[in-house]
Amino acid sequence: MEIGEKLRELRIQRGLTQEELADRCELSKGFISQVERELASPSIATLKDMLECLGVTLQSFFSDNSSEKVVFSPQDMFEKEDLEEGCKITWLVPDAQKNSMEPILLELQPGGISQMLPPHEGEEFGYVLKGQVSLLVGKRRYTVRKGDSFCIHPSATHSIENTGAKPAVVLWVSTPPSF
């Protein structure tokens, strides 16, 4: 695959226009267009800047992704349990920090609470698989029951708490990764 074609695919995957990428990289839209059409070649420093704006390293850009893992088994997943908070997090996709989103499985015992996350750019989505939880966003509290979902643009500190009498399980996806 040619460099320009690969850059174009990355830009489109990230939902950016040529103009948006150019603004982020402090380059012209015309130059981005020429690179993508293989009419111009960026210097290594410029390529590195472009890749940084696309959230990709030089190494991963030039690596062969044909062996990239797509399906993950429980052995691939990482768990962290905080007995004091009554909370267990399972990272469902290893190394998800390199991706645009990070899915986790959050298990909360009765009275358990997730870590308090600060406001950030992006979105968070959750789906309650089991039990009932309270979603705390700033000073607001929302009840989310089994089968319910939530979607927030976290402009305030936020967390999830199990105020019920039974364990709760939430599929929680954050973009960009924040867990």
What confidence tens digit (pLDDT) does each residue in 146-160 have?
Answer: 999 999 998 999 999
91-143 residue pLDDT tens: 998 877 677 889 999 999 999 999 899 998 899 999 999 999 999 999 999 99
- Residue 141, phi then psi, degrees to nearest 5: -125, 130
Q: How far apart are CA 117 and CA 164, in angstroms?
A: 21
* Run of H or E including 172: strand 168-175
Please tell me the predicted confidence (pLDDT) of residue 66. Answer: 57
Tell me the CATH architecture of domain 74-175.
Sandwich (2.60)
CATH number for the region 3-67 comes to: 1.10.260.40
Q: What residues contact 88, with CB distance under 8 A and at least 6 apart?
A: 79, 80, 81, 82, 106, 107, 108
Q: What is the mean pLDDT of the chain?
A: 90
C-beta of residue 133 within 8 angstroms of C-beta of residue 170: yes
Buried b (16+ CB within 10 A) or exposed e, 20-44: ebbeebebeeebbbebbeeeeebee
User: What is this structure's pTM?
Assistant: 0.62
Q: For the segment 57-86, what is each residue's pLDDT rounded down to a tens digit?
A: 888 888 766 567 788 888 888 899 988 889
The full set of domain ranges for the chain reads: 3-67, 74-175
Give the closest residue to 17 by CA, choosing from 5, 2, 29, 3. 29
What pLDDT is recorded for position 43?
92
Cα→Cα distances 92→8, 79, 113, 131, Å: 28, 9, 19, 20
